[in-house]
Amino acid sequence: MGTALAVAIYFFLLLPVLLTIPMAFGPTNALTFPPESYSLDLFEIFFKSPDWTDPLLQSLKVGAASTMVAMLAGVPAGYSMARYRFAGKNFITGLIMSPLIVPHIAIGLGLFLYFSYLHMSGTTFSIVLGHVIVTLPFVIVVIVAGLNKLDRDLEFAAELMGARPIRMFLTVVVPQLVPSFVSAAFFAFLLSFDEVTISWFLAGPDTITLPVKMYNTLHWEVSPVIAAVSTLLTAISLLVSIVGIALRRAPSIDI
């Protein structure tokens, strides 16, 4: 009974996505379900229009940059939180994790006012930093969870054999954390790629991301191209998830 209920709820939540996919192959004059005819015209319009491809490239660029920064900051931060005790640890942890509970609209508004004061609003840098703020906590959570599963005796053994902390981390910890690194990176990229609220506050005319473009299009008109874009976003998210799962299941590196 419980399994059937869970499947029913999952199907109910997934139903809008499933309905959108066939609409993406429908006519170009209106959104219809079921489509009266099937074609790839909506996808052709999307890929031939700079109004759509430029935001797509911007989303990919912002997603890659924010993921890189979040990983560079999140891995050492997660290791410090999992392995060390220091003054103000609880306060710092709460501060870093606060984007998990603070509404994104509040974060976006605050960042908009801050970057407007610095005359940096509308830049790619401001969008990347905004995305790092909301992706960093998830990276840290994944890294800490991975560290908690590791055998610390290997780290102690490396220290007893004279390995410096950096060498011990690179040769003992990193090889065991590869699956966690992969999960954190793919998770951060998906969060950044789909982020719309903060991007809406921070994006400018030349730095608009794909989710913001979709939101603006729905706000002013209901273009059938939206169905094709939604299907592409679903496909990209699904592809990234499949690759992440495949890499996680790959044989781990022996030490």
- Kindly report the pTM of this predicted structure: 0.81
What CATH number corresponds to the domain at position 156?
A: 1.10.3720.10
Q: What is the pLDDT of residues 5-19, one digit of tens each?
A: 777 777 777 777 777
pLDDT of residue 46: 86
Please report the pLDDT score of residue 24 as a whole number.
76
Q: What is the mean pLDDT of the chain?
A: 82
What pLDDT shows up at residue 29?
66
Note whether residue 10 is domain-resident.
no
Q: What is the C-alpha to C-alpha distance for residues 238 and 232, in angstroms, rounded to an integer?
A: 10
Tell me, yes or no, whether 12 lies in a domain: no
pLDDT (tens digit, 9 = 90+) per residue, 169-225?
777 777 888 888 888 998 899 899 989 999 999 998 889 998 998 888 877 777 778
Provide the domain limits for residue 181. 53-248
pLDDT value at residue 128:
95
Summarize the confidence of residues 143-157 as an average pLDDT.
79
Q: Hey, what amino acid is at 47?
A: F
Q: Domain total for the chain?
A: 1
* DSSP line for 148-207: HTS-HHHHHHHHHTT--HHHHIIIIIHHHHHHHHHHHHHHHHHHHHH--HHHHHHB-TTS
Render the burial of 11-29: b for 16+ CB within 10 Å, e for the rest.
eeeeeeeeebeebbbbbee
